[in-house]
Each structure stands twice: as structure tokens, then as C-alpha cells.
């Protein structure tokens, strides 16, 4: 249903979850009468009797309509001119058929017309004019004219029009609602992770309350197997927490007192007492769901469809009334009503309104099932036509480092000093150095004022000797210490990696004296090669953009057969992206935190390691489980989505543009118009459903992941 | 019409073929009833629902045939052509059932949004639920049904088409009720024998229809007169 006030506050349909305009919190709103109807049929919990009744109501209406159909066929078989002059028995039979049609169509009018009229009147009360109103008026007019003709005993009857239109509209909308329900299923699956009721601990004991009644600061008890209802901090107890839904992390995290919990995660094995830190509705999972919902709302093609829909309804109203008036004037009341009704029935605002959001919902839901979170609906469109896919190296194509070799006059002291700097950073090289120190049982030397210099390294103050200590890229260290230093002999290559002639990965300097060099081995992400190859096979050009040293970047790039640029500062990455951006757009794949500016400036930013807090994400797409293998699949999905949206819009515009004028000529029987409208809606729902369920846009990264990993192993870059 | 006893026979015996698809539904209908009397009552309403749908489909097909005749009457003898189509269809169905023609595997019913509703109706307590379940069962795809509908279309009269399908539907009632009451009234061997007879009964119905169609295929001949309400003149399809 299209509202005449599209600027109203959006909320979700009570049944299918699609956005509805102009909702209020105190009453459930539905996006169409189909959802209202379907919701009544499937309403659970206490409303079972009513659900039964709605179903029986539909069934009885179908039964009566079928009867009306038979009588109508009988009437239509009546040879012209024979009604008056035929046998008395024939005349009596035709009279009987007309009265029987009246008798059988009246219940249909009440059973199916009732809810439709209720819907239309409700919308009128809210100040919105809908096509349902015209539909109800048209059907009532067709019925009234026919009843009058039956009473007079002459003239045509159109009982079948009333029945067929009501039946087709109701059935069509019901099926449509089912389709919509399926496309938004993924999001509801997420919502279902939040429990309805929680155990509240109060000074007087424990009681069960509705989640909505919980506030910040309340204390809850969580049993093993239960979902975390909202963001909270553990007060007491220890448990393994499955955070897959929120962070994509497949290994459960063990959490104890003081650790924070995200809503939607699962307490696997311990009993916990937690303090609520976010009001229900403001937790991590809810913010995630909201981010996804907004993705559909803000889509450009969605806004286009909304703009069109805003003038579509008035247009149909005018055409329908004009058609009715012209045909009434030329061929009588019945022809006018039928033609006007045909225009209303054949027009399909649903197709227009649903063309984009349904496809986007389907695609976003599908992506979410693979732990790919899309925050911007338009990202699909841009991803579909992107020409360049740029990768960051560290943390994206490679997963981590380990210390392969170091060279120093005082190795233990140098490593302990390096660890003192490294523990202040999350950079992979730092992590490797800190880990190596830990493995050798060395305690990190305490340093003061440790800070990170973006793109360069770490520096701090060693109070014992009152000097500045630096750990970082040789370029930076040598510049800071004076370029005449040759220690250590960086050009020296490690046996077996002669083609790279790799210099050491990073240097440690105490004061202006370089004291140690570290060679780090980089591990390549297992499915990265398959992902890059998959993207190249799809016609996209890939490039490696890294802030790291040229030799190390070159070594990784060679493994993937990629062009590369090294030594890029964050601003250089932006420049590189701007340079590559042609007509087809650039996708940047990188670390969610470190590459934030590049991710935000690219046409589509795809982030790994996004973390749980959705509000801090700078990328349009987030690979929650850091699986690069999903990238080619995502490009396929984006292309399929973009294609589906185009087809849906083309269909919706084409169908309405072709059928409304045709119906206005008076040549289309309203029952046929109803069938066409149902077919049109189902076409749009069907293509989107195929997008939601079809497994065709898939790739095989997971099948080849093992082989790729085995062939690559550990990459030595130092 | 000469076929009517044959149609009844096809329905009665052909139901052995129907039981594969619709038998489980009949069982589901009976599952909720405490006594066999209650079950019989429910089975009766379930079958009534089916026969009602067949009747509506029959009249629809007949009207379609009649409409075609009205439109194309001057160029072709539509009832005769339809009788040929129906005959061919029935013969093929019969030969398939008899095992003379190889049968292709039947795919599962496509997932349908109405499936849950249908299931609820089958097990519903109210008589109206069972009747409606029968009504929707009548809409399930079935080769035998299509053959009979083609035959109904060839009658050229709404009432005759309706009668054809009612007779066919009534023919299927005994076997369906038996299946719903417990199924094991007849042994497997007996059922197989009946199935074979039913298959050839279908073939015979088809052959009669073919013969009727072939006999009417003299171009431009008067269509056979039907009931008093459906004269031989071309008919306008509604307003």
C-alpha cells in the first residue's frame, strides 16, 4: 500500500518486517492488507480461534466464489435473445442462476470485502487515501448494480466480478505477504536471538520480567544456553560465550567478572550474574539490526521508487475516476463501474513499492547468513559495477607475523626493550615481537610515554638512560637516527628467499643508535589467493595498497600475481584510490580500524575485523568472520541484486504503463485485471525470493580454501 | 452419453491410482476422529469437497470449450477436436497406469505458501475444515483429472461438463473413503488387479472419446445438440 505521506516516520510491518510509513508504537502497523490478513491467520498464542476463523473465512469465500463461477458460466452460456423467447424451463433456470449468484456472492462480499473495507476506512481515518478505498467502492458498486438488475429481472449481472476481484486481491496479497515474510526471515532470525523474558535479581529475590521492563543498572541472572538479552557486564561467574552472531568469531570466548557481554551472544556453559549497561533496544545486536534496516531505507533506487509511488496513487485515482465517468456517459453505469474498477484493480503500486526494498532485503538477508553485513543498500549497486578491488596487505591478505630471526649485539635486552614498545600496539609486527619475547620468557622493559606514530612505528622514553626508544620501519628509524647508519646489514637476504632480497622488517633504535633488526615472517590468509583469483575471473582488477616496505609488499603481491603500491601513508591510499577511480568505481578491502579513512573514501569499503560496535564501522560491508572467500560470492550477489532491482523496476513501470491505459479503454474484464495484478506482484516477490533462496550466485572458495592454504603455507618476507 | 458409465468406472477404479497422492490426505482427515462413524462422516465431507471442486472445474472447462466453439466454430469443430485431445490424453494416462508406457518419476510438490494452511485444514475439528480441505485437494495436479477435464471441455455444455466431473468424482469416492477408513480393506494383490482393470478402463474411455471426436470431424457439420440450454449456435463469451 502506498501512502500519500511518504515523509512520515518509518517503522516495521508487524507481519513481514518491511518498513511502513507513519507508524505508532501503540498499535501494530502493516505494510499492506495482505500482511494484515496473513498476520490474522497465523496469529499465535491465544488468538488461535481467530486464526482458525480467518482461515475458514477464506475457505468459505472460495467455496461461494466457485459456486458463483458455475452460475456465471451458465448465464454466459445463455444464447443471446433466447432468454425471453426460449422455453419456460430455460428462462426459469437463468432466473434461478441470477438469484443464486446473488445469494452466493453476498457472503463473499461480507467475508473478504469486510477486512478490505476495514483497512481502507482505517487509512482514511489516518488521513491517507488508498487504492483499497476505490477497490471497495468499485466492488460494492458492481454488486449493487447486479443486485438491482436481479431484482428488476433484466440487465446484466456482475456478481462474479465482485467475487473474483475480492478473491484475487485477498489471495494475491496473502501470497505476497508470505513472500515478503520469507525475504525478511534472516533479520527475524537475528531478532529471535533476544529472549522475551529475563531473570531479574532484586534485593527481595529473583523474578521473571519482560525484557522491555529491564533498565540500565538492573542485575540479571543468565543460565547456560541462554542468549544475552542486552549489553551487560559480568558481575560474577565465568562462562564460554559464543559471539559468532555479533563478531563472527567462531571460537567461543571465555569471559569472567568485569568482562562485557554483547546482546545476542550465547552463554554456552556457565551461570552468570550480569549488570545491564544498555537499555533493551540499544544493545549491540539491536544496533546491528538497525544498521541493516537503515541500509534498505537509504538506498537510492528505493528513494526513486518512493518518489514515483508518491504521484502514482493520485494518478491512478484520477485515471480510474475519469475512466468510470467516460464509460458511464457513453455506455451506462455498469460499463463505467466495470472500467473504473478494472483500472483500480490492474494498477499495481505494490510492484513499484516493493521492487527495490524486497530485492535489497533478500540480498542483505542472504549476505547476513554468511556473516557478511551490508550497511548500505546502494553498496550492492556500486559493488556490482566496481572495476578495481584494492587490498590492504597486513591483516587483510595476511593474517599475522611471527619473528623469524633477529640480529642484535644484546639480543635479550633488545627483545625485551622491543616488547616494551610493542605491547602498546595492536599492529601485527608488534604482536609478533611481543609474542616472541613472551615465548623466550623475557619480561618487557617498562617504558614511559609509549605512543604509536601512524605508518611508522612506536616510540617511548626509557627512564633509565633518559633516551627515546623507537621500534618501527627501517625508513623511519634510519631517518630519525641519521641515514649514515648501516647496521644491521639489511640487504642481507635470508636463504631461500633470494628473489625478494628482503631487508629486515623493523629496527629498534635506542637514542640515535640502531641496536637490533628483526626479520618477520608473514602468514598469508588461507583463502586469499582463491578470493583474488575469483575476483579477477569476474572481470575486476585487483591491486595491493600497503603502507609497508616495498620489498615485503612485493613479496606478497608476487604470490597473488597482483600489481602493488607500497609505503603508502593513509593519505597516499586516499590519493591512490582517487587515481584509480574511473567510471566503474573502487572497492577497498581492508582492516576495519586501521584502514578506516581508505575504506570510507572508496566507493565500497569492505572491512575485516570490524569489531562488535557497529557505530564505529567506517565500511559499507563488513566480513564478520574475516572470510575473504566470501568476496567473489558477494560480487556475484551484488550483480544478481542489481540485475533483480533493474528487472523489478522495469517490470513495475512497464506493467503499469501498459495495463492501466488498456484497462482505461474498458476492454479488460475486472476479473482478468485482478489476475494480472496478482501476477505482477507475485513476479516482483518471486524474483526477490529467488535472490533470497537461490544458491546460484556462489563460488567455491570454501572448497578450495584447504588446497590454497596448503600450497601457500607461510610466506617469508623479511 | 455413452461415456458416462465408463467415466464412473474410470473414477471408481482409477481411484486406485489417486490413492498414491490423495490417500495420505484421506488418512490425515481420519486421524482426528475418535470412532469409525465420526471418521466416515468426515471422509464423506472431505470427498464432497473434492467432488464440488471437480464440478466447478468441469463447468469451467466446458465453458472454455463452448467459448472456443463460439469463437472458432466456423473454422473447426471444436468439440470434436477436444474429444480427440481428451481421448488421447486418457489413452496415454491409461497406458501409463497399465505400465505399457514407462512412467517418469514424479517430482515433489513445490513448496507453496498455502501448504501450512492446507495441513491445518486437514486436521481441523470442524466439518467445514474437512470440506474445505477436500475442496483444495480437488485443485491438486493430477493427470487423470486433466484427462477428464478435457473430456468435460468437449461436451460443449456447462451442465454436461459439470455432470461429467461429478460422475467422475463420485466414482473416486468409495476408494478414497475406504482408504480414509483404514486402507487395508483390500489386499495389495487385489488392489494391483483393480489398478490394472482401471487402467484399461481409462484406455477404453479414451478410445470412445477418440471415436466420438473422429466421427464429428466432418468439417462444417452441425455440432451435436446438447442440453436444452446450450443450443448449437455460437455463443458470446459473457458481457
Q: What is the DSSP code string of A243-300?
A: -HHHH---SPEEE-TT-EE-TT-EE-S--EEEEE-S-TTSSHHHHHHHHHHHHHHT-H
In degrees rounded to 5, what are phi and psi of residue A343? -65, -45
pLDDT-derived band at A1 (thresholds 50, 70, 90) equals: very low
Of A173, A152, A148, A160, the C-alpha closest to A58 is: A173
Angstrom distance (rounded) from CA B64 to CA A69: 12
Per residue, the 3-state secondary structure of A317-367, as one string, reads: HHHHHHHHHHHHHHHCHHHHHHHHHHHHHHCCHHHHHHHHHHHHHHHHHHH
- How far apart are the C-alpha atoms of A546 and A548, rounded to whole Å? 5
Whether residue A13 lies inside any domain: the answer is yes
Q: Measured between CB atoms, which of B159, B228, B230 is closest to A87?
A: B228
Same domain for A365 and A424? Answer: no
Determine the pLDDT at residue A9: 44
Q: Is the ipTM of this complex over 0.85?
A: no
Q: Is the pLDDT of residue A399 over 70?
A: yes
Q: Give B132's contacts in chain A (Cβ within 8 Å).
A: 56, 59-60, 62-63
Lookup: cell for A314: 493520485
pLDDT more than 70, % of chain A: 81
Domain-by-domain residue ranges, chain B? 3-101+118-215
What is residue A233's DSSP assignment? E
Provide the mean pLDDT of chain A: 78
Same domain, A72 and A131: yes
Same-domain check for residues A9 and A151? yes
Neighboring chain A residues of B239 at a CB cutoff of 8 Å:
156, 158
Q: Is A89 on the interface with B (CB under 8 A)?
A: yes
Residues in B touching A74 (Cβ below 8 Å): 59, 158-159, 229
Q: C-alpha cell of B235?
A: 455463443
Q: What is the pLDDT of residue A286?
A: 82
Give residue for cell 473422429: B214
Give the pLDDT score at A326. 92
The residue that leads in pLDDT, A635 or A483, is: A635
Give A 175-194 residues with CB within 8 A of chain B. 175, 178-179
Closest approach of chain A CAs to the CA of B151, in angstroms?
17
**Contact A331/B at CB under 8 A:** no
Same domain, A147 and A216: no
**Domain-terminating residue out of A280, A300, A331:** A280
Has residue B207 got a pLDDT over 70?
A: yes
* Chain B partners within 8 Å of A67 (Cβ): 56
Nearest to A216 by CA among A278, A296, A157: A278
Catalytic residue flag (residue A392) = yes
Mean pLDDT of A363-388: 85
Segment holding A595, helix H or strand E:
none
Residue A354 confidence (pLDDT): 75
Q: For the residues A396-401, what does the mean pLDDT come to?
A: 78
Handedness of CA B203, B205, B207, B209 (dihedral sign): negative
State the DSSP code for A395: T
Q: Would you state the torsion angle of the CA atoms of residues A20, A25, A26, A28, taken in this order, to the nearest 10 degrees?
A: 30
Nearest to B60 among A60, A73, A87 (CB): A73
Q: Which residues pair with A623 in a beta bridge?
A: A372, A608
Place of cell 630519525: A480
CB contact under 8 A, B235 and A77: yes
CA distance B151 to A400: 75
Interface residue A74 vs chain B (CB under 8 A)? yes
Tell me which residue range forms the domain holding A630: 358-395+526-634
Q: Residue A635's pLDDT is what?
A: 92
Mark which of A577, A606, A634 sits at the end of a domain: A634
Say if the Cβ atoms of A55 and B120 lie within 8 Å.
Answer: yes
Tell me, yes or no, if B45 comes closer than 8 A to chain A by beta carbon.
no
- Of A63, A73, A159, which to mutate for an interface test with B (greatest number of B Cβ within 10 Å)? A73
Torsions phi, psi of B232, nearest 5? -80, -10
Question: Does the pLDDT at position A699 exceed 70?
Answer: no
Judged by a CB distance cut-off of 8 A, whether residue A72 touches chain B is yes
Q: Residue A275 is part of a domain; what is its CATH number?
A: 2.70.150.10
pLDDT, tens digit (0-9, with 9 covering 90-100), for A50-101: 556 667 778 888 888 888 888 888 887 776 544 445 677 777 778 888 888 8
Q: What is the pLDDT of residue B230?
A: 33
Q: What pLDDT, on the 0 to 100 scale, is given for residue B227? A: 30
Residues A150 and A263 in one domain: no
Please name the residue that has the C-alpha cell 525478511: A184
Please check whether residue A590 is in contact with residue A573, taking contact to mean a CB–CB distance below 8 angstroms: no
For the purposes of burial, counting CB atoms within 10 Å of the CB of A3, is it exposed (0-12), middle (13-18) or buried (19 or more)? Answer: buried
Of the three residues A183, A218, A248, the one that is the final residue of a domain is A183
Q: Work out the angle at residue A411's Cα, subtended by the Cα atoms of residues A407 and A414, and round it to the nearest 5 degrees.
A: 100
Range A129-145 average pLDDT: 82
Nearest by CB to B230, from A67, A77, A178: name it: A77
CA distance B52 to B62: 15
Q: Identify the weakest region by mean pLDDT among A19-23, A129-133, A311-315, B89-93.
A: A19-23
Examine the pLDDT at A19 and tell me if it is beyond 70: no
Q: Report residue A503 as a C-alpha cell.
A: 631487508
B237 CB neighbours in chain A (<8 A) are 76
> Is pLDDT of A486 > 60?
no
Of B113, B132, B158, the CB nearest to A175: B113
Name chain B contacts of A63, Cβ cutoff 8 Å.
52, 131-132, 135
Q: Does A142 touch chain B (CB under 8 A)?
A: no
Is the predicted pLDDT of residue A717 greater than 70, yes or no? no
Q: Which of B55, B229, B237 sits opposite A93 (nearest CB)?
A: B229
* Residues 6 or more apart whose Cβ sits within 8 Å of residue A637: A363, A366, A367, A380, A697
Do A530 and A517 sit in the same domain of this protein? Answer: no
Q: What residues form DSSP beta bridges with A582?
A: none
CA gap B24, B34 in Å, rounded: 18
Question: Using 50, 70 and 90 to split pLDDT, how confident is the model at A702?
Answer: very low
Question: Is B107's pLDDT higher than 60?
Answer: no
Domain-located, residue A651:
no
Secondary structure of chain B in HEC code, one letter for each residue: CCHHHHHHHHHHHHHHHHHHHHHHHHHHHHHCCCCHHHHHHHHHHHHHHHHHHHHHHHHHHHHHHHHHHHHHCCCCCHHHHHHHHHHHHHHHHHHHHHCCCCCCCCCCCCCCCCHHHHHHHHCCCCHHHHHHHHHHHCCCCCHHHHHHHHHHHHHCCHHHHHHHHHHHHHHHHHHHHHHHHCCCCCCHHHHHHHHHHHHHHHHHHHHHHHHHHHHCCCCCCCCCCCCCCCCCCCCCCCC
Mean pLDDT within B226-232: 34
pLDDT at B111: 41
Examine the pLDDT at A506 and tell me if it is beyond 60: yes
Q: Residue A412 has which C-alpha cell? A: 635479550
Give the three cell numbers for residue A161: 466480478
Residue A597's pLDDT is: 79
Across residues A237-262, what is the average pLDDT? Answer: 81
Residue A175 resides in a domain: yes
- Confirm or reject contact between B124 and chain A (CB < 8 A): yes
Distances (CA, A) of A486 to A403, A407, A469, A474, A481: 21, 13, 18, 11, 11
Whole-number pLDDT of residue B76 = 66
Most confident of A144-148, A348-352, B119-123: A144-148
- Residue A156, pLDDT score: 78
CA distance A399 to A425: 16
The mean pLDDT value for B1-11 works out to 67
pLDDT, residue A80, reads 53
Does B162 contact A70 at a Cβ distance shorter than 8 Å?
yes
Residue A370 backbone phi and psi in degrees, to 5: -100, 20
Q: Give the mean model confidence (pLDDT) for residues B13-22.
A: 62
Using alpha carbons, list the distances in angstroms from residue A406 to A35, A410, A488, A494, B191.
Answer: 67, 11, 10, 12, 86
Does residue A55 belong to the interface with chain B, where contact is any CB pair within 8 Å? yes
Mean pLDDT of A182-206: 80
Peptide bond into A488 cis (omega under 30): yes
Domain membership of residue A189 (yes or no) is: no
Instruction: Write down the catalytic residue from A242, A376, A378, A392.
Output: A392
pLDDT of residue B187: 60
Q: Which residues in B lie closer than 8 A to residue A685 (C-beta atoms)?
A: none
Written as nine digits, the cell of A501 is 632480497
Identify whether A29 is part of a domain.
yes
CATH of residue A365's domain is 3.40.50.1000
Q: What is the mean pLDDT of residues B201-211?
A: 78
pLDDT at B238 > cutoff 70: no
Asked if the Cβ–Cβ distance from A55 to B236 is below 8 Å, we say no
CA atoms of A655 and A652, how far apart (whole Å): 5
CA dist A402 and A412 (Å) reads: 17
Give residue A2's pLDDT. Answer: 37
Looking up cell 597482483, which residue turns up?
A: A562
What domain count does chain A have? 4
Shared domain for A202 and A142, answered yes or no, is no
Considering the domain architecture, whether residues A41 and A165 belong to the same structural domain is answered as: yes
Which residue has 481421448 as its cell numbers? B87
CA-only gyration radius of chain A, Å: 34
> What's the rounded mean pLDDT across residues A362-370?
85
pLDDT at A524: 81
Smallest CA–CA distance, residue A583 to chain B, in Å, is: 43
Q: Cα distance from B44 to chain A (closest Cα, Å)?
A: 17
Which pLDDT band holds residue A155 (cuts at 50, 70, 90)? confident
- Report the distance separating Cα B57 and Cα A375, nearest Å: 50
Asked if B60 reaches chain A (Cβ–Cβ under 8 Å), the answer is yes
Name every chain B residue with its beta carbon within 8 A of the beta carbon of A89. Answer: 228
Q: Are A591 and A396 a contacting pair, CB within 8 Å?
A: yes
Kindly determine whether residue A70 and residue B59, on different chains, have CB atoms separated by under 8 Å.
yes
In-domain check, residue A670: no
The mean-pLDDT minimum among A457-471, A501-515, A702-716 falls in A702-716
Test A66 with B128 for CB contact under 8 angstroms: no
Closest-CA residue of A relative to B54 is: A66
Inspect the interface and report whether the beta carbons of A63 and B62 lie closer than 8 Å: no
Q: How many CB atoms lie within 10 A of CB B69?
A: 25
Contacts of A295 (CB under 8 A, 6+ apart): A360, A364, A374, A375, A376, A377, A379
Instruction: Give me the count of residues in chain B.
Output: 239
Q: Is B229 on the interface with A (CB under 8 A)?
A: yes
Alpha-carbon distance of A376 to B60, in angstroms, equals 50
Residues A144 and A40 in one domain: yes
pLDDT digits (tens, 9 = 90+) for A567-606: 887 778 888 888 888 777 899 998 766 677 788 888 898 8
Query: Per residue, what are the HEC states of A655-672?
Result: HHHHHHHHHHCCCCCHHH
Nearest by Cα to A557 from A319, A428, A398: A398
| Predicted confidence (pLDDT) per residue in A188-197, tens digit | 777 777 888 8
- For residue A252, tell me if it sits in a domain: yes
Residue A511 lies in a domain: yes
State whether the Cα torsion B177-B182-B187-B189 is positive or negative. Answer: positive
Contact across the interface for B63 and A63, Cβ inside 8 Å: no
Q: What is the mean pLDDT of chain B?
A: 71
Q: A14 by DSSP, 3-state: which? A: coil
Q: Please check the confidence at residue B110 and state whether its pLDDT lies above 70.
A: no
The per-residue pLDDT for range B126-172, each reduced to its tens digit, is: 777 888 888 888 877 777 788 788 888 888 788 888 888 898 888 88
Smallest CA–CA distance from A670 into chain B, residue: B239
Indicate the residue of A67, A89, A178 with minimum beta-carbon distance to B228: A89
* Chain B residues whose beta carbon lies within 8 Å of the beta carbon of residue A72: 238
Query: Chain A contacts of B153, Cβ < 8 Å?
Result: none
Residue A498 and residue A430 share a domain: yes
Mutate to test the interface with A, among B32, B53, B56 (most CBs of A within 10 A): B56
When pLDDT is averaged across residues A301-323 and rounded to a whole number, the result is 79
Using CA atoms, how far apart are residues A165 and A137, in angstroms rounded to an integer?
12
Res A637: pLDDT = 92
Amino acid at each position: 500500500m502506498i501512502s500519500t505521506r511518504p515523509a512520515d516516520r518509518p517503522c516495521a510491518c508487524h507481519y513481514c518486517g518491511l518498513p511502513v510509513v507513519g507508524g505508532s508504537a501503540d498499535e501494530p502497523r502493516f505494510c499492506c492488507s495482505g500482511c494484515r490478513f496473513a498476520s490474522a491467520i497465523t496469529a499465535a498464542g491465544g488468538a488461535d480461534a481467530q486464526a482458525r476463523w480467518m482461515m475458514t473465512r477464506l475457505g468459505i469465500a472460495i467455496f461461494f466464489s466457485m459456486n458463483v463461477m458455475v452460475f456465471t458460466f451458465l448465464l454466459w452460456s445463455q444464447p443471446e435473445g433466447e432468454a425471453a423467447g426460449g422455453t419456460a424451463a430455460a428462462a426459469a433456470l437463468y432466473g434461478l442462476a441470477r438469484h443464486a449468484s446473488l445469494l452466493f456472492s453476498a457472503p463473499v462480499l461480507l467475508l473478504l470485502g469486510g477486512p478490505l473495507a476495514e483497512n481502507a476506512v482505517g487509512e482514511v481515518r489516518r488521513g491517507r487515501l488508498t487504492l483499497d478505498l476505490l477497490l471497495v467502492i468499485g466492488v460494492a458498486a458492481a454488486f449493487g448494480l447486479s443486485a438491482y438488475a436481479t431484482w428488476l429481472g433484466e440487465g446484466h449481472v456482475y456478481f462474479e466480478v465482485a467475487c473474483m476481484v475480492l478473491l484475487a486481491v485477498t489471495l494475491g496479497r496473502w501470497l505476497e505477504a508470505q513472500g515478503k515474510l520469507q525475504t525478511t526471515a534472516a533479520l527475524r532470525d537475528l531478532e529471535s536471538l533476544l529472549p522475551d523474558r529475563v531473570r531479574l535479581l532484586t534485593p527481595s529475590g529473583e523474578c521473571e520480567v519482560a525484557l522491555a521492563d529491564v533498565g540500565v543498572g538492573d542485575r540479571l541472572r543468565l543460565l547456560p544456553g541462554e542468549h544475552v538479552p542486552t549489553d551487560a557486564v559480568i558481575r560474577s561467574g565465568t562462562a564460554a560465550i559464543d559471539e559468532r552472531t555479533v563478531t563472527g568469531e567462531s571460537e567461543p570466548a571465555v569471559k569472567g567478572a568485569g568482562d562485557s557481554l554483547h546482546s545476542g551472544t550465547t552463554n554456552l556453559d556457565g551461570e552468570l550474574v550480569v549488570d545491564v549497561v544498555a537499555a533493551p533496544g540499544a544493545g549491540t545486536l539491536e544496533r546491528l539490526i538497525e544498521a541493516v534496516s537503515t541500509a534498505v531505507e537509504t538506498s537510492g533506487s528505493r528513494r526513486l521508487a518512493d518518489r514515483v509511488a508518491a504521484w502514482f496513487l493520485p494518478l491512478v485515482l484520477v485515471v480510474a475516476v475519469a475512466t468510470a465517468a467516460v464509460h458511464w456517459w457513453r455506455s451506462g453505469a455498469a460499463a463505467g463501474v466495470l472500467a473504473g474498477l478494472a483500472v483500480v484493480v490492474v494498477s499495481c503500486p505494490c510492484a513499484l513499492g516493493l521492487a527495490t526494498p524486497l530485492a535489497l532485503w533478500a540480498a542483505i538477508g542472504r549476505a547476513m547468513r554468511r556473516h557478511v553485513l551490508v550497511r548500505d543498500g546502494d553498496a550492492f549497486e556500486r559493488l556490482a559495477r566496481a572495476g578495481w578491488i584494492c587490498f590492504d596487505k597486513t591483516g587483510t591478505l595476511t593474517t599475522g607475523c611471527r619473528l623469524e630471526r633477529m640480529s642484535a649485539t644484546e639480543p635479550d635486552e633488545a627483545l625485551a626493550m622491543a616488547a616494551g614498545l610493542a605491547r602498546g600496539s595492536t599492529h601485527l609486527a608488534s604482536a609478533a615481537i611481543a609474542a616472541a619475547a613472551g615465548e623466550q620468557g623475557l619480561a618487557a622493559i617498562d617504558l614511559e610515554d609509549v605512543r604509536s606514530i601512524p605508518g611508522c612505528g612506536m616510540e617511548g622514553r626509557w627512564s633509565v638512560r633518559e633516551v627515546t626508544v623507537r621500534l618501527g620501519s627501517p625508513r623511519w628509524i634510519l631517518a630519525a637516527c641519521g641515514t649514515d647508519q648501516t647496521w644491521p646489514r639489511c640487504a642481507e637476504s635470508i636463504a631461500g628467499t633470494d628473489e625478494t632480497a628482503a631487508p629486515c622488517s623493523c629496527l629498534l633504535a635506542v637514542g640515535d643508535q640502531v641496536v637490533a633488526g628483526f626479520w618477520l615472517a608473514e602468514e598469508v590468509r588461507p583463502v586469499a589467493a582463491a578470493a583474488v583469483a575469483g575476483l579477477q575471473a569476474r572481470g575486476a582488477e585487483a591491486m595491493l595498497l600497503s603502507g609497508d616496505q616495498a620489498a615485503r609488499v612485493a613479496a606478497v603481491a608476487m604470490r597473488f600475481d597482483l600489481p602493488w603500491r607500497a609505503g603508502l601513508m593513509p593519505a597516499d591510499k586516499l590519493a591512490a584510490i582517487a587515481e584509480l577511480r574511473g567510471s566503474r568505481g573502487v572497492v577497498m578491502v581492508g582492516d576495519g580500524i586501521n584502514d578506516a579513512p581508505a575504506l570510507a573514501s572508496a566507493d565500497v569499503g569492505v572491512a575485516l575485523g570490524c569489531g562488535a560496535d557497529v557505530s564505529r564501522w567506517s565500511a559499507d560491508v563488513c566480513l564478520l568472520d574475516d572470510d575473504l572467500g566470501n568476496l567473489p560470492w558477494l560480487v556475484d550477489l551484488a550483480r544478481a541484486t542489481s540485475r533483480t532491482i533493474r528487472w523489478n523496476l522495469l517490470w513495475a513501470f512497464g506493467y503499469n504503463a501498459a495495463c492501466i491505459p488498456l484497462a482505461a479503454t474498458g476492454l479488460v474484464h475486472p476479473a482478468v485485471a485482478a489476475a494480472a495484478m496478482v501476477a505482477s506482484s507475485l513476479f516482483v516477490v518471486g524474483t526477490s525470493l529467488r535472490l533470497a533462496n537461490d544458491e546460484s550466485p556462489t563460488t567455491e572458495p570454501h572448497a578450495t580454501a584447504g588446497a590454497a592454504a596448503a600450497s601457500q603455507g607461510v610466506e617469508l618476507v623479511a | 452419453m455413452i461415456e458416462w458409465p465408463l467415466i464412473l468406472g474410470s473414477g471408481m477404479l482409477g481411484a486406485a491410482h489417486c490413492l498414491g497422492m490423495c490417500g495420505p490426505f484421506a488418512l490425515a482427515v481420519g486421524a482426528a476422529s475418535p470412532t469409525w462413524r465420526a471418521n466416515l462422516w468426515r471422509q464423506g465431507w472431505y470427498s464432497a469437497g473434492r467432488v464440488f471442486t471437480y464440478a466447478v472445474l468441469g463447468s469451467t472447462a466446458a465453458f472454455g470449450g463452448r467459448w472456443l466453439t463460439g469463437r472458432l466454430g466456423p473454422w473447426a469443430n471444436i468439440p470434436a477436436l477436444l474429444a480427440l485431445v481428451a481421448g488421447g490424453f486418457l489413452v496415454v494416462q491409461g497406458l501409463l497406469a497399465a505400465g505399457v508406457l514407462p512412467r517418469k518419476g514424479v517430482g515433489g510438490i513445490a513448496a507453496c505458501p498455502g501448504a501450512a494452511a492446507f495441513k491445518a485444514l486437514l486436521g481441523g475439528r470442524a466439518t467445514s475444515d474437512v470440506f474445505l480441505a477436500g475442496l483444495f485437494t480437488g485443485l491438486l495436479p493430477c493427470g487423470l483429472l486433466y484427462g477428464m477435464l478435457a473430456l468435460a471441455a468437449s461436451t460443449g455444455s456447462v451442465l454436461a461438463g459439470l455432470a461429467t466431473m461429478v460422475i467422475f468424482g463420485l466414482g473416486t469416492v468409495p476408494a478414497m473413503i475406504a482408504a480414509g477408513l483404514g486402507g487395508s480393506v483390500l489386499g495389495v494383490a487385489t488392489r494391483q488387479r483393480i489398478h490394472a482393470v482401471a487402467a484399461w478402463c481409462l484406455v477404453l474411455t479414451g478410445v470412445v472419446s477418440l471415436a466420438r471426436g473422429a466421427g464429428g470431424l466432418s468439417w462444417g457439420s452441425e455440432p451435436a445438440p446438447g442440453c436444452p440450454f446450450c443450443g448449437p449456435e455460437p455463443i458470446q463469451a459473457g458481457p
